[in-house]
Amino acid sequence: MKRKISIVGVPMWLGQTRYGTNLGPQGIRCAGLMERLKGVGQDVVDEGNLPIGITGCFRQSGENIKNVKTLVDSSEKLAAKVSNIIQEGRFPLVLGGDHSIAMGTLAGVAKHYKNVGVIWYDAHADMNTPETSPTGNIHGMPLAASMGLGHSALTNIGGYQGKVKPEHIVLIGARDVDKGEQQLIEEKHIKMYTANDVKRLGMEVVIAETVRYLSERCDGIHLSFDVDGIDPAEFPGVGTPVADGLSYKESLQAVRLLAAAENLISAEFVEVNPLLDKDDMTARLTVNLIGALFGETAKSKQVQRTDRKRSAEAI
């Protein structure tokens, strides 16, 4: 499906404590993102990176939450940017940055949709609040905040609460869920496919059930793809690796299946850390995933390589 795509980078690392995810957007770009999307006929514009602060107070006094002001300020900017992109009739493709940026993305998307569905592809549930978080890192809180749970500064991003309803969320690939998050998942009856569930059922079944489940309830689906959902043996450039994850092959199958979903309205890819990567493997494979989400196939990749070779020979 041909889309009008607007890329926006969010060079944020303060949702956690490992420097480097702020370099993720440029790392993904340098791995050939624009060329690949244009190669499959997409109408794509790169709107650059949001100008955001990269330093902040490490921890709020007396509260189990870090860098609140900087993250709220950046999330407000992202929410406005994403909202404008949708208003222009384009598809927001957001490049992170750590997963805290999802608060801004969802705040911008939910202004235009009454019932946003969210596919949270991640090793973690990211549903902590300051009361349940073992670290105070905000990249472990964006989904809870988007549901209206947690610190008021986070839940009110965009000027309103409740961007997404619990029954409109599907977790895929989870395998490192904190006790408070597990309790919330059970209380709110949030749909979850663990990494083991995916292995047992197969990715084709998981995606088919997910799309059907959300399509029956929602007027649009947002994909929030954290690359640490993939096993770190294949995706080493992440700050919070968790063993026994989904494979790259399974993940490629997932995005290819989602490419056919007509109600996919926005997407973000987060947590690429070039400083922890090996030979740019994580950035390059992330570009493969994004390309597949927008219709790239093995055949179209081969055509692009052939065209580049012919151009080089002509020069």
Beta pairing partners, 70: none
Establish whether 168 is a catalytic residue: no
The residue annotated as part of the active site, out of 98, 250, 271, 277, is: 271
Establish whether 271 is a catalytic residue: yes
- Spatial separation of the C-alpha atoms in residues 176 and 99, rounded to whole Å: 15
The residue annotated as part of the active site, out of 98, 139, 151, 277, is: 139
Establish whether 226 is a catalytic residue: yes
What are the tokens at 211?
């799309």
The residue annotated as part of the active site, out of 98, 122, 250, 268, is: 122
Establish whether 277 is a catalytic residue: no
Establish whether 112 is a catalytic residue: no
The residue annotated as part of the active site, out of 126, 250, 277, 296, is: 126
The residue annotated as part of the active site, out of 76, 98, 124, 168, is: 124
Establish whether 99 is a catalytic residue: yes
| Strand pairing class (116-121; 169-174) | parallel
Establish whether 139 is a catalytic residue: yes
Please name the amino acid found at residue 234. Answer: E
- Spatial separation of the C-alpha atoms in residues 69 and 151, rounded to whole Å: 12
- Spatial separation of the C-alpha atoms in residues 180 and 178, rounded to whole Å: 6
The residue annotated as part of the active site, out of 76, 228, 268, 296, is: 228
The residue annotated as part of the active site, out of 76, 181, 226, 231, is: 226
Residues catalogued as catalytic: 99, 122, 124, 126, 139, 226, 228, 271
